[in-house]
Chain A
Amino acid sequence: EAGVVQSPRYKIIEKKQPVAFWCNPISGHNTLYWYRQNLGQGPELLIRYENEEAVDDSQLPKDRFSAERLKGVDSTLKIQPAELGDSAVYLCASSSSVGRNTGELFFGEGSRLTVL
C-alpha cells in the first residue's frame, strides 16, 4: 500500500516569493491534515479536511496561507508571500478515522521549506 506522498521534498525560496506544496493521501483516507513542524518542535496543525471540506482551519494564517483539496483526494498548500518565519517542514497526514479520532495519523515525508 502506497503511503502519503508529498512534493517537493525540499524548496528554497527568497522571502516574498510564493511556494506551493502538494500531497496525495493514502487511498481511501477521507481525512487529510497539513501540519507545520518547526525545528526542535512537534507538528502543529494548520488545517484539516474531511473529504473536500476544510473543517478546522483555525490555525492557518489566512493572510498568506491557503489550501485546497479538490475532489476530496489530493491537496495543495500555498504560501504567498513567504516570510523568513515560514521556514519549517510542512507535513501532510491522512487518516481513515470515522467519528471519534484515535490520533492514528499517517504522515508523508514532509516538504522542507527554507526562506532566505
Chain B
Amino acid sequence: QKEVEQDPGPLSVPEGAIVSLNCTYSNSAFQYFMWYRQYSRKGPELLMYTYSSGNKEDGRFTAQVDKSSKYISLFIRDSQPSDSATYLCAMNTGGFKTIFGAGTRLFVKA
C-alpha cells in the first residue's frame, strides 16, 4: 500500500463547475499538506499549503485537511480551462522527505 493514494483520473468537467480533488494517506505523522499543480511538460508549482487539520482558502481554491480520516481535499470553484492540469497532493512529517501522490489529471472544457 502506498503512503499516499490519489485517483489518477482523468477528471473532465465543464467550465464553471466545482471541482473536488482528493487524497488519502496512511502515515498519521504527516503534518504538512500541499497541493501542487503541474502543467504538461512543466515542473510542479505549489498551489496551497496547510499545516495540520482545517481549511485554507485562496481565491477560487480551498484546501481541506481531515487528519482523523487521513483525507485531504482541494476544491476549485468556477473552474476555468486554464485550470486544466495535473494536481499532485503532497505531504510530510516536518522532516525533509515529502511524499507525493500520483496526481489527478483535470480537464476543464470550455
Chain A contact residues, CB within 8 Å of chain B: 4, 31, 40-45, 48, 55-56, 91, 93, 97, 100-110, 112
Q: Which bracket fits the contact residues of B?
A: 20 to 34
Contacts of B94 in A (CB 8 A): 100-102
Contact B49 A102 (CB under 8 A): yes
Alpha-carbon gap, A101 to B95, bound state (A): 5
A102 to chain B: closest residue by CB: B32
Chain A interface, >50% SS class? loop
Contact A56 B46 (CB under 8 A): no
The yes or no answer to B81 lying at the interface (CB within 8 A) is: no
Contact B34 A104 (CB under 8 A): yes
The yes or no answer to B92 lying at the interface (CB within 8 A) is: yes
Contacts of A40 in B (CB 8 A): 8, 102-103
Question: How many whole Å from A95's CB to the nearest CB in chain B?
Answer: 9
Chain B stretch 38-74: residues in CB contact (< 8 A) with chain A: 41-46, 49, 51
Contact A42 B100 (CB under 8 A): yes
Contacts of B51 in A (CB 8 A): 102
Contacts of A31 in B (CB 8 A): 96
Alpha-carbon gap, A104 to B95, bound state (A): 12
